[in-house]
Structure 1
Amino acid sequence: MAKKTIADLGDLKGKKVLIRVDFNVPLDKTTGEIKNDRRIRGALPTIQALLKAGASIIAMSHLGRPSGDPVKDKLLLKDRVATRLGELLGLPVSKAGSTVVGPDVTAAVAKLPPGGVTILENVRFDAREQKNDPEFAAALADLADVYVNDAFGTCHNDKDASMVAVPAAFKAAGKPRAVGLLVAKELEIIEGLMGHPKQPLFAVMGGAKVSDKIAFINALLKKVDHLLIGGKMTYTFMKAQGVDVGAMKIDDAEVAAAKALLPHVGAKITLPVDSLCAKSDDLSSTKVFEGPIGAGYEGVDIGPKTLALYAEKIKTAATVIWNGPVGWFEKPAFSAGTKGVAAAMAESHAVTVVGGGETAEAVEQFGYDAKMTHVSTGGGAFLAYVEGKKFASLAQIDDK
């Protein structure tokens, strides 16, 4: 996808750049403190490059899902994000105002000097954001000379004004639109993966729901040599095969989705040969099952034989794509599978790509992120792009 990048924008000295970033960081539900700043760090190269070019930065992003409850929504204010961005940049970062757009925001942005950085309030505090509202978009477009999309994690959100209607307003005003370094890298990596991957190509698929990833799985099956399954979807496949899954609760719709894929099991799809399970009423009581899961137990991780099998397979791969943890990795006692897959990928000689979301968090948590070829910043966007979906947000960016 040949889209203009910030390198194609020409002289930016004295220009104001409105950059859509993905600062939807995980927060502590009680204090609102930032638990992981990976998404903020991901935008730094683009912001720093624009500042070096003499531009000033107006960053905008959503944060969480505002409910309209002022007490709960207070945690979703952008003050902490502004502070953390400033710490990472080593520069003061202001918040432009108490609303997303308005006279105070316009005035604050007008005073922003070259090299200055400000951040707008949570765009989802304005109901027009998720309606692609043209009036809201025009107000945002009036703030800057250039639009940059560096929010790969939200590129699939085609109804968000900040992703679609705002760059459309820039086009109407004859102002340039480009992607940032992060988005450009994501597109290059994923397009290379699906277009000309090094063979053999393996994929590891975890997570909970088969139905949510059915299109992604089908897209992968056309490309991969082997698809290794883990996570809760393991037990969905087991149930679809008529195997007892103990106390696991699995929707009929999930079973139906897995049944459609059963012809591939044993050929391209490999299922776990054992599972670490815990008692539903006592998570400290665990047992490894090969085959049917005993009454009262729930699967919480792939078993040791499965991990060894998957690690051996990964050693033979030239490319490995991973999306979805293979166990309840947040619990140390149930993290061996996910940590082991991460280690196997990190130690391999393959091109290794991690597909965002919880998987990226797990890889970082275990200290393997720097040993991967690429860790995507987008969970849902990564899935959708691999599936071949067209993004209206990217269609709005100027072609080279």
Structure 2
Amino acid sequence: MPKKTLSDLGPLAGKRVLVRVDFNVPLDKKTGAVKNDRRIRGALPTVQALLDAGAAVIAMSHLGRPEKATPEERANLTTDKVAARFGELLGRPVKKAANDVVGPAVSAAAAALKPGEVLLLENLRFDPREQQNDAEFAAAVAGLADAYVNDAFGTCHNDKDASMVAVPAAMKAAGKPRAVGLLVEKELTIVDGLMTAPKTPVLAVMGGAKVSDKIAFINALLSKVDSLLIGGKMAYTFLKLKGFDVGATRVAEEELAAATPLLGHVGGKITLPVDCLAAKSSDLGVTQVVEVGGAIPADYEGVDIGPKTLALFAGKINQAATVIWNGPVGWFEQPAFSAGTKGVAAAMADSGAVTVVGGGETAEAVEQFGYDSKMTHVSTGGGAFLAYVEGRKFQSLAQIDDRG
């Protein structure tokens, strides 16, 4: 059943709205400065719409893994720098709550908010109860506001986070409305459309390192797409199973086991690389293109798809009406090994197809190469995108009020 959205919340003038955003942005390890603000920008339409409706906004997010950080690293995981960048992008000051996530000072700051003002809470994971889905913690957070909005698609699959599950449950218990924000609404609409009535033919591009991490996603895609192109490190798993000597490219036994049941699709729905770029393990500046009919030398490892593969992939992308992409097809962070990933992005941008990029590293790559604005949709959620396509039910979305 469709979930309630911002338009279903009713009059918001004078109300305080608690918005779960995904501000888990990359930070400079030394200064704590925000290195990429894409996720902050993604939340701006929802926040601005609430402010325009006369509400005050209390935003909350986790940031990094403070539970695993050293004291020095933890100090850089406060939301101070995020609040500053959020304010710059929003064009108005963003107040920062006290260093505690909840407590008297935070409650006072929330109660003092006036319409049009914004407060950002401290890193939710500074309180261990956030990842324990703790009811007492959730009640304290829920008590800060009059309504709840989930606009954090990237964390919708985190069913043990209080801010995603227990907090909206506490809001319901208090008779307060719950809705999804504009970002989550858009993500769900697009992914639901991909899975139910996509324009055909449908093609998917899959990359990344591990087949085992994405086996459910691959199986979900195979039931929906006409063709699946596989690149990235996972391609060498399939190639090794097909008898290709992958040289020094590391392929774990569990990856071979995960890929084996899919071998029957190779040559049918699944297309593998026909050549690759290999780099010398002891000197990555030394490279050579190796065709799949040959063998990668023993002291070389695969780092990108080769030029013939890129031409093959680009041709298939050009023939598709819908293209779904998750996972870079090479080590794109290294400029010398980025041609494949950049080429796939360029082919999608030029294809005229409905193009959807499945978050995570793929979204970073598309943005890095300047093609993000030329895609139909770039998801803000890597793991959440995978899980939703797989058909996993999210407890976080189950907490949102249904439309009548």
Question: Are 2:356 and 1:350 aligned?
Answer: no
* Distance in 1 of aligned mates of 2:15 and 2:110: 12
* Distance in 1 of aligned mates of 2:69 and 2:34: 21
Tell whether the 8 Å contact from 1:57 to 1:117 is kept in structure 2 after alignment.
yes
Output aligned runs, 1:326-337, within 5 Å.
326-337=329-340
**Which stretches in structure 1 are left out of the alignment for 5+ residues?**
none
Give the corresponding residue for 1:14: 14
Give the corresponding residue for 1:42: 42
Tell whether the 8 Å contact from 1:329 to 1:335 is kept in structure 2 after alignment.
yes
* Distance in 2 of aligned mates of 1:293 and 1:174: 63
Give the corresponding residue for 2:71: 70
* Distance in 1 of aligned mates of 2:71 and 2:337: 37
- CA shift, 1:178, in A, is 0.2
- CA shift, 1:68, in A, is 5.4
* Distance in 1 of aligned mates of 2:130 and 2:274: 47
Give the corresponding residue for 1:315: 318
- CA shift, 1:242, in A, is 2.7
- CA shift, 1:96, in A, is 1.1
Give the corresponding residue for 2:199: 198
Instruction: Give the TM-score, by structure 1 length.
Output: 0.99
Question: Are 2:30 and 1:27 aligned?
Answer: no
Give the corresponding residue for 2:378: 375
Give the corresponding residue for 2:363: 360
Give the corresponding residue for 1:339: 342
Q: SS at 2:76's partner residue?
A: helix
* Distance in 2 of aligned mates of 1:227 and 1:128: 41
Q: SS at 1:23's partner residue?
A: coil
Give the corresponding residue for 2:142: 141
For 1:229, the aligned partner's letter is I
Q: Any idea what the Cα deviations from partners look like across 1:76-106, whole Å, max 9, x if unmatched?
A: 1000000000000110001111110011101
Q: Quick one: structure 1 residues 313 and 120, their matched pair in 2 at CA, closer, same or farther if it must change by over 3 Å?
A: same
Give the corresponding residue for 1:102: 103
Tell whether the 8 Å contact from 2:142 to 2:170 is kept in structure 1 after alignment.
yes
* Distance in 2 of aligned mates of 1:208 and 1:79: 34
- CA shift, 1:134, in A, is 0.1
Give the corresponding residue for 1:230: 231
Identity fraction in percent: 76
Q: SS at 2:254's partner residue?
A: helix
Q: SS at 1:260's partner residue?
A: helix
* Distance in 1 of aligned mates of 2:81 and 2:110: 19
**Which stretches in structure 2 are left out of the alignment for 5+ residues?**
none
Tell whether the 8 Å contact from 2:20 to 2:152 is kept in structure 1 after alignment.
yes
- CA shift, 1:30, in A, is 2.4
Q: Any idea what the Cα deviations from partners look like across 1:225-244, whole Å, max 9, x if unmatched?
A: 10000100011111222321
Instruction: Give the TM-score, by structure 2 length.
Output: 0.98
* Distance in 2 of aligned mates of 1:397 and 1:28: 35
Tell whether the 8 Å contact from 1:247 to 1:298 is kept in structure 2 after alignment.
yes
Tell whether the 8 Å contact from 1:241 to 1:259 is kept in structure 2 after alignment.
no
For 1:379, the aligned partner's letter is G
* Distance in 1 of aligned mates of 2:216 and 2:31: 38
- CA shift, 1:31, in A, is 2.3
Tell whether the 8 Å contact from 1:240 to 1:256 is kept in structure 2 after alignment.
no
Tell whether the 8 Å contact from 2:29 to 2:73 is kept in structure 1 after alignment.
no
For 2:187, the aligned partner's letter is E
- CA shift, 1:75, in A, is 1.0
Give the corresponding residue for 1:80: 81
Q: Any idea what the Cα deviations from partners look like across 1:333-370, whole Å, max 9, x if unmatched?
A: 11000000000000011000000000001001111101
Q: SS at 1:41's partner residue?
A: helix
How big is the alpha-carbon RMSD for the aligned residues of Structure 1 and Structure 2?
Answer: 0.7
Give the corresponding residue for 1:5: 5
